[in-house]
Amino acid sequence: MRRMDTRSTILAGAARVFETEGFRGVGVDRLLAPSGASTRTLYKHFGSRDGLVLAVLEERQRSFLAWLERETYAADPVGGLFRTLVDWQRERGTHGCMLLRAHAEYAADSEAVVDLVRREKRVFRTIVAKRVAVALGREDARLATEIWLLFEGATAAAAVADTSVVEAAEALARRLVAAAEGTGS
């Protein structure tokens, strides 16, 4: 088994803490406890606590997008989004979207966090739009927005319910795609 480097170990431990305890109310000592790293090591690798927050968010999004890429979706590109989310939540838990939670906690205090979340959500919306275009054989911006909203809503709702809400969102997404295929608009 490959040993994780110090930076990766800090990121993984901090991500688990942020996931379960939030961002703003967690002290540096608590963030570093899972890795056993010192405050000096945190600053060496991330520059600041906020630098760690940004790195955790970037890594979380990179990791999720990698999950999406490894899923074969040719037969059902839109449904595959939701199946990937169910798999992700079963492995990592149903805590809602870490990016949106960070945005909510940092909206008034960190332009860098807000900008990162907006940028990553734009990237994800583009991925959704591409999958909708594959499913329909044409672009449909409105349907892509509806599917994106279903995905984001299911992610949040699973945090207070369970993954069955994601499965319900997938079924609705499939109906929306089928309706769009039938209308050709």
The model's confidence at residue 182, banded by pLDDT at 50, 70 and 90, is: confident
**Considering the domain boundaries, does residue 113 fall inside one?**
yes
Count other Cβ atoms within 10 Å, centred on residue 85.
Answer: 23
Domain ranges, residue 98 = 54-183
From CA 86, how far away is CA 171, in angstroms rounded? 13
**Considering the domain boundaries, does residue 147 fall inside one?**
yes
**Considering the domain boundaries, does residue 23 fall inside one?**
no
Q: How far is CA 20 from CA 25, 92, 126, 130, 170, in A?
A: 11, 11, 29, 32, 26
Gap between the terminal Cα atoms of the chain? 52
**Considering the domain boundaries, does residue 170 fall inside one?**
yes
Are 144 and 128 in contact by the 8 Å Cβ rule? The answer is yes
pLDDT, tens digit (0-9, with 9 covering 90-100), for 134-165: 999 999 999 999 999 999 999 999 999 988 99
**Considering the domain boundaries, does residue 127 fall inside one?**
yes
**Considering the domain boundaries, does residue 104 fall inside one?**
yes
From CA 135, how far away is CA 149, in angstroms rounded? 17
**Considering the domain boundaries, does residue 33 fall inside one?**
no
**Considering the domain boundaries, does residue 166 fall inside one?**
yes
pLDDT, tens digit (0-9, with 9 covering 90-100), for 94-139: 888 999 999 999 999 999 999 999 999 999 999 999 999 999 999 9
pLDDT score recorded for residue 69: 87
Question: What CATH number corresponds to the domain at position 170?
Answer: 1.10.357.10
In the chain, the number of structural domains is 1
